Structure 1
Amino acid sequence: MTVNLEELTESLATDGYEMAVARTPDDAVVTVSAADGICGDCLVPKEVMKSFLSSALGLPETRIELVYPTEGNPQPA
């Protein structure tokens, strides 16, 4: 199944989430945040979301860092 990044972003927005993608040619950091009053724990399991993102970004799942609302922001290495 091929997933379009714009469609995934719009689908999340419909449910009160925002997705930000910071990308290089080799990897990506994807941060999902929840609007006020939206459940931060109510997203699909990270493995499922990474599968969608891998298809949308054309990257292996191992090259995608996914941060969910309850996890805060990733720290630079």
Structure 2
Amino acid sequence: MTEPTKPQTVDEALRQFTDMMAADGYVLSWEPSDPQRIVVRIDATEGACADCLVPANVMEAIMAKALEPTPYALDHVILPADAAH
């Protein structure tokens, strides 16, 4: 008998993006908006690569896909106020 696949934690699911964002000068964090949904927040640090962020709709699609192995769905993504997209 095989065991069911253990759901990933949100941190595990977003780790590659957290690392990628950090390399471009951004901090990725998240918080629950309700028991089944989370909000992903991306904040710029000094010297962040302004051209490295994808448009909000693309970022939301990426984050929603990344969260599929978790018990959570994406509520929305908050990008830096000065993001060009």
Asked whether the two chains share a fold, i.e. TM above 0.5, the reply is yes
Deviation at 1:40, TM superposition (A): 5.0
d(CA) in 2 for partners of 1:40 and 1:65?
A: 20
Matches of residues 21-60 of structure 1 in structure 2 within 5 Å? 21-23=30-32, 24-39=34-49, 42-58=52-68, 59=73
Larger radius of gyration: 2
Deviation at 1:37, TM superposition (A): 2.4
One-letter amino acid matched to 1:26: Q
d(CA) in 2 for partners of 1:40 and 1:15?
A: 9
Unmatched runs of 5 consecutive residues or more in structure 1:
72-77
Unmatched runs of 5 consecutive residues or more in structure 2:
1-12
Deviation at 1:10, TM superposition (A): 0.6
Task: Among all aligned residue pairs of Structure 1 and Structure 2, give the percentage whose two residues are the same amino acid.
Answer: 34
Partner of 2:6: none
Spell out, residue by residue over 1:13-71, the C-alpha distance to the aligned partner (whole angstroms, 9 max, x if none).
11000011113542111110001122557510011111111111122xxx422111117
One-letter amino acid matched to 2:22: A
Give every structure 1 segment of 4 or more consecutive aligned residues whose post-TM-superposition deviation is greater than 3 Å. Answer: 39-42
Alignment of 1:65 with 2:58, yes or no, is no
Task: Calculate the TM-score normalised by the size of structure 1.
Answer: 0.69
